[in-house]
Amino acid sequence: MSCHAHPDRDSNPVLRLASASPRRRELLASIGVAVEVAPADIDESPRKGESPEQFVSRLAREKAKAGHIGSALPTLGADTVVVCGDVVFGKPRDETHAREMLTALSGRAHRVLSAVAVIGAGGMRECLVATQVVMRRIEEAEMAAYWATKEPVDKAGGYAIQGCAAIFIERLEGSYSAVVGLPLNETASLLRAHGVALWDGALNDVASDAR
């Protein structure tokens, strides 16, 4: 049995996802959660004096609230940013911006902050996960070749750890799935608190069939 092979959950959404990210949808599917996608349109500008942690957590909450309007399902909002020193890296504006970010990340450690907020009948629950990622030194030619793959276009920090950029990563301390876009261990706890069944809920069905 695969983790997301429960037929009822595959066909019936149990969660609204306030994000258009295919990566978050795939991560949720991997733990058996079928979603209804409803991207939230919010202002993602940082506020004066806001720390990276406050910024990413606020965006996750605001996305969850905006996406939850008109829904009876619990709604998940999430945001992920790359932090190098005290500078927050979002998605690159163009190739020049992407190469500037990779140059800053090259040969050093940075943090990836991933915030998740779930709102439902029981109110709002949230988490924030910080992961340290260390990149090897990246050559200029590699940056150009990487941009040509089109992979960095919509990625925070201008790279995707689950894609071609995996060859740039020396080591990681923390949650791999959080760097991809959703910390699954912590997200699972939030979803269970809102009554959302995950793949392991199917174990009850297996036990019943075995009796």
Q: Which CATH number fits domain 7-210: 3.90.950.10, 1.10.3720.10, 3.90.105.10, 1.10.287.3510?
A: 3.90.950.10
Q: Where residue 3 falls among pLDDT bands split at 50, 70, 90?
A: low
Q: Are the beta carbons of 56 and 81 closer than 8 angstroms?
A: yes
pLDDT at 207 (0 to 100): 40
What's the pTM value of the predicted model, to 2 decimals?
A: 0.88
pLDDT at 201 (0 to 100): 62
Would you state the structure tokens that stand for residue 63, as one six-digit string?
Answer: 């996305």
Q: Are the beta carbons of 79 and 21 closer than 8 angstroms?
A: no
Q: What does DSSP say about strands 75-84 and 15-17: parallel, antiparallel, or unpaired?
A: parallel
98 has a pLDDT exceeding 70: yes
Domain segments of the chain as ranges? 7-210
Sign of CA dihedral 86, 89, 95, 99: positive
11 has a pLDDT exceeding 70: no
208 has a pLDDT exceeding 50: no
148 has a pLDDT exceeding 70: yes
Return the residue matching tokens 């990566």. Answer: 23
Q: What percent of the chain has pLDDT over 70?
A: 90
Task: Kindly list the catalytic residues.
Answer: 79
pLDDT at 81 (0 to 100): 94
206 has a pLDDT exceeding 50: no
Element housing 75 (H / E) = strand 75-84
Residue 132 to residue 8: CA distance in whole angstroms:
37
- The average confidence (pLDDT) of the chain is 90
Residue 126 burial class via C-beta count within 10 angstroms: exposed 0-12, middle 13-18, buried 19 and up: middle
Alpha-carbon distance values, 42 to 77, 85, 106, 129, 144 (Å): 11, 26, 31, 22, 32
pLDDT at 58 (0 to 100): 98
